[in-house]
C-alpha cells in the first residue's frame, strides 16, 4: 500500500508540474501538455481504481478476521471438551483431529 501511495503521489507531482507549465505556454506546446496531462490523469485514475479495489479487499479480510476472532473467543476460549465429545467428532479422522491426544 505504501508503494501505491508513492505512485499516486508521483502522478500528482507530474500533474501539478504540467498545470504550472500550462499557464506559460501557447500553441502546439500547450496542446502537447494538455495531451500529456490527460494521459497521466487517465493512468492515475486507473491506478487509483486498482488501489481502491486492493484497499477494499484488505478491509474485507480485516473484517473477516475480526469476525472469526470474535467467534473463536466466544466458542473456544476457556471451553473444555469431554473425551466422549472429542471421540464422537474426530473418530477415525486425521488432519486437524489427529493433533489431539
**CA 52/CA 44 separation, integer angstroms:** 12
pLDDT tens-place values along the chain, 101 residues long:
777 788 888 889 988 988 888 888 888 888 898 999 899 999 889 888 888 988 899 899 999 999 888 887 777 667 666 766 666 666 666 556 666 55
Rounded distance between C-alpha atoms, residue 32 and residue 26, angstroms: 10
Spatial CB neighbours of 11, under 8 Å, sequence gap ≥ 6:
40, 41, 43, 44, 47
Distance between CA 32 and CA 22 in Å, rounded?
10
Q: Whose CA is closest to 38, among 14, 68, 70, 72?
A: 14
pTM: 0.56
Amino acid at each position: 500500500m505504501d508503494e501505491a501511495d508513492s505512485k499516486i503521489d508521483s502522478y500528482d507531482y507530474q500533474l501539478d508540474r504540467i498545470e504550472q507549465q500550462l499557464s506559460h505556454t501557447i500553441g502546439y506546446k500547450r496542446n502537447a501538455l494538455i495531451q500529456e496531462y490527460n494521459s497521466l490523469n487517465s493512468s492515475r485514475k486507473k491506478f487509483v481504481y486498482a488501489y481502491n479495489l486492493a484497499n477494499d479487499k484488505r478491509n474485507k479480510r480485516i473484517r473477516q478476521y475480526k469476525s472469526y476472532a470474535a467467534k473463536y473467543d466466544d466458542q473456544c476460549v476457556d471451553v473444555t471438551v469431554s473425551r466422549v465429545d472429542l471421540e464422537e467428532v474426530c473418530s477415525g479422522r486425521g488432519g486437524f483431529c489427529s493433533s489431539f491426544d
